[in-house]
Structure 1
Amino acid sequence: MPTPLSRKLASLISLCLLALGSTSLQAETLKLATTTSTYNSGLLDSILPQFEQATGTEVHVIAVGTGAALRMGRDGDADVLLVHAPAAEQRFIGEGHGIDRTGVMYNDFVIVGPSSDPASIAGQSDVASALQRIAEAGALFVSRGDDSGTHKKEKSLWQQAQISPSGDWYREAGQGMGKVLQIADEVGGYTLTDRGTWLAYQGKLQLNLLLEGDQRLFNPYSVMKINPQRYADLNHQGAEAFRQWLVSEQTQQQIADFRINGEPLFVPSAVTPVASQ
């Protein structure tokens, strides 16, 4: 019959094993903070199972705007980031929050809107001119308004058009890209969207793609690890494994092959560094 001392010893051993098990489970989880546009495109659902199967690491995807993702990285609430706001990313690295920023892929932004096109921007090749027409016509424009990479790009484009958008025609939704497309569809407004989310949602909407091709609409995505000198307890090993996997030849090919209705959503860029503009 077990003595009280042996029972206490057994309980202590069980607690130690439980703690070890919890540590092991935590080490097998990777917190990925990424953009809603990346998530909404369906790309991550397509490629992440291969990483999880190959490494035994469960990826917990946190889909937020790029600004929120960078804040999570700064606060140690994510292990690795996949985002698309080059200037903000460079500040993040320069301030010492992140390391090993690596280009993964790119697509582009487009402007979509109602078939009636009240600002007559269809066929335009100059995005600044198109935004000027929208403002002059007072045509509804739905902004992300959420400090995301798309919102940052939109604000820079308005600045290039020398316009400070305001008034009843300009509506900030504070929502992710998929929801903003739905809102623009409901109110008959224009919006700026990444091409990937547009292709994923266009079959559900009455909106039309009205402007594309301006080089200022280039949209690069990068992966970054959190600086281990800031947060030593994060899953840095898993983050590095994920970074290397994303830029591997096999995964880059999977990114190139990912399509919706036969159209590619992203172009892999690990071989050629992304532009920093």
Structure 2
Amino acid sequence: MRRAVHLVVALLAAVLLAGCGAAPAAGPAERSLILATTTSTQDSGLLDELLPEFTRATGWQVTALAVGSGQALELGRRGEADVLLVHSPAAEEAFVAEGTAGARRLVMHNDFVLLGPDADPAGARGLGGVEAMARIAAAQAVFVSRGDDSGTHAREKDLWTKAGVAPGGSWYQSTGQGMGATLRIAGEKDGYTLSDRATYLAQREALPLTVLSEGDRGLLNIYHVIEMTRRAGDRVQPEGATAFAEWIVSPPAQELIARFGEARFGRPLFVPDAGKSEAALGG
């Protein structure tokens, strides 16, 4: 998969050069890396803000693979990504303990929100996350899950467990897709769903969904960057991984994160956390 990604990038570059009547220049190979990250960083538009600035600052080109956190960790495990930007802390800790990853650093956080139709047939509005999920299950109101082993899916499962619920039956529907697609399906079905706030805000104008539960410490959504090493495979580029990890926790990148979303939504979508401890966030 990794070789295929780089081949596609190379072919596209060659086509563009040919179209301009130029021949590819001889010289050292382009410095490029693969970032495996979550759909929330793509669907919110954050990657569009960060990656060009990273390339300008370092010269490294980035191919971003936006998948669920579980899939991103698996890409790292197979040596098919150089660096990971993910938001599933328990799974990340277990992954790092396997020994193929390098440093894991706190980058930023936002929060999860429980969304549903304004009519709120389950009566979840204003409740804490766990109690709201229990109400939805008791009412057997439609709940649309990502079902994709993402960080959002992991948090959803944690909330069901704490509510003492084993979800299933016709009311519980799994998309197996990313956050953006799951939000659209939940809106079409007048259902409930759990979302990271950034993706919801980026798409809310097209969604008949409203925030019903928020602000609970159990809804905190924490992102880390994880560098891969050649212990995961000979194709891993640890220099690129370190360059990205060091840049995203640097003051210029953290300032970009702090401002992202203000112009469009009147509020930032993420809170920069480099240099903080996760315990201080309440996670």
SS for the counterpart of 1:255 is helix
Q: 1:104 and 2:107 equivalent? A: yes
Displacement after TM superposition at 1:274 (Å): 2.4
The separation in 2 between residues aligned to 1:233 and 1:224, in whole angstroms, is 16
Displacement after TM superposition at 1:170 (Å): 0.3
Q: Choose which of 158, 161, 164 in structure 2 pairs with 1:159.
A: 161
Over 6 Å off, 4+ runs: none
Q: In the alignment, what sits opposite 2:191?
A: 189
Q: Give the 5 Å matches for 1:13-162.
A: 24-25=29-30, 28-124=31-127, 126-162=128-164
Identity of aligned residues (%): 51
Structure 1 unmatched runs, 5+: 1-17
Displacement after TM superposition at 1:94 (Å): 0.3
The separation in 2 between residues aligned to 1:151 and 1:97, in whole angstroms, is 24
Displacement after TM superposition at 1:134 (Å): 0.3
**Structure of greater Rg:** 1
- Contact 2:229-2:236 at 8 Å conserved across structures: no
Q: In the alignment, what sits opposite 1:225?
A: 227
SS for the counterpart of 1:24 is coil
Q: In the alignment, what sits opposite 1:14?
A: none
The separation in 2 between residues aligned to 1:133 and 1:221, in whole angstroms, is 29
Structure 2 unmatched runs, 5+: 1-23
The separation in 2 between residues aligned to 1:81 and 1:240, in whole angstroms, is 11
- Contact 2:69-2:87 at 8 Å conserved across structures: yes
Q: 1:261 and 2:268 equivalent? A: no
The separation in 2 between residues aligned to 1:55 and 1:128, in whole angstroms, is 44
The separation in 2 between residues aligned to 1:112 and 1:170, in whole angstroms, is 15
Q: In the alignment, what sits opposite 2:16?
A: none
Q: Choose which of 249, 271, 274 in structure 1 pairs with 2:275.
A: 271
- Contact 1:246-1:252 at 8 Å conserved across structures: yes
Displacement after TM superposition at 1:54 (Å): 1.8
| TM-score, normalising length: structure 2 | 0.87
